[in-house]
A = this chain, B = another copy of it.
Amino acid sequence: MRPILTVGSVAFDSVKTPFGEVSRVVAGAATYFSIAASFFTDVRLVGVVGDDFVDEHLAVFAGRRIDLDGLQRVAGETFRWRGEYNFDLNTRETIYTHLNVFEDFRPQIPDSFRSSPFVFLANIHPALQLDVLDQVEAPEFVALDTMNYWIEGTPYELRRVLARVHVLVINDAEARELSGEANLVKAARLIQAMGPERVVIKRGEYGVLMTRDDGFFAVPGLPLEDVYDPTGAGDTFAGGFVGYLAAAPAITDDVVTQAIIAGSTMASFAVEDFGLDRLMALTEPQVKERFREFKRLTHFEAL
């Protein structure tokens, strides 16, 4: 069981979906990632919040295997985002993004975190992701998230960081944009040529696709009766995925496919309530039971 260093946003979100809305709840990529990964292994979080992020907000991390020594608190307001989802939750509109203290975020990796064997670089400026990699000592495994904003705006920096990671975790639209190729099989191969050994493609309610030596591994999304808020599902997936890998004695092909299921499992919970609410109430037996549910969902007898 190896600890994971993660660097990314800690934020306040306001979200409206057809099923309700919440205002100024604790969120952010590094938050969702850390809480999901902490079900499997120790997590070291590096990020920044403002002085409006107080004890009641820090409570979401309490009692979990999350080391907050790398979470800076500075004068000013915490990153805030507001989004609204359409009727089927498949598209959303950003109402505002106030970077606030996140605008000047320069990740400072505490000395005690520098030898972290696992690293997850959440979606931030590729130059900052590179800066983090320069501060850590030869990690065994680095996974990266990014988004269309960096693909379009900072392609050179993004290519430099891609050359240094083992796994890229992105969604299908981003995979198409990054590769300039509409076909996902070809897109994934083109991205692998940029550096990552594996490409993990998130497809929202349709599940996840992962490259491997002999083609792909794929899992559909678990059909859920109650989906309230998809925010954070991708980062929660990444947390379950990287967390499971870090907890395993070795990264075999079987372990990687199980890690995809672990990630899908965590994400399937995240969307069942607003913000972090479902993850806050989640128990380990529930995680194991849902992993088995994915097996029942997808199993068929070979010919």
B-binding residues in A (CB < 8 A): 18, 87-88, 176, 182-186, 188, 203, 206-207, 209, 214-221, 223-227, 254, 257-258, 260-261, 288, 291-293, 295-303
Q: CB-CB < 8 A to A203: which residues of B?
A: 206
Which of chain B's residues have a CB closer than 8 A to the CB of A221? 218
Q: How far is the CA of A259 from the CA of B261 in the complex (A)?
A: 24
Complex CA gap A217/B297 in Å reads 5
Q: Evaluate contact between B223 and A184: CB separation under 8 angstroms.
A: yes
What's the nearest-Cβ distance from chain B to residue A123, in Å?
A: 23
Q: Quote the shortest CB–CB distance from A287 to chain B (angstroms).
A: 10
> What's the minimum C-beta distance from A86 to chain B, rounded to whole angstroms?
10
Question: In the complex the two chains form, is A301's CB within 8 Å of B220's CB?
Answer: no
9 nearest interchain CB pairs?
Answer: A218-B220, A206-B206, A257-B300, A185-B225, A185-B223, A216-B223, A295-B302, A88-B182, A220-B220
Given known A-B contacts A183-B225, A183-B227, A217 and B300 have beta carbons under 8 A apart = yes
User: Are B220 and A293 within 8 A (Cβ)?
Assistant: no
Contact A300 B223, beta carbon cutoff 8 Å: no
Q: A226 — which chain B residues lie within 8 A by C-beta?
A: 183
**List of B residues within 8 angstroms of A292 by Cβ:** 302-303
* Cβ of A212 to closest chain B Cβ, rounded Å: 9
Given contacts A218-B223, A223-B185, contact A288 B261 (CB under 8 A): no
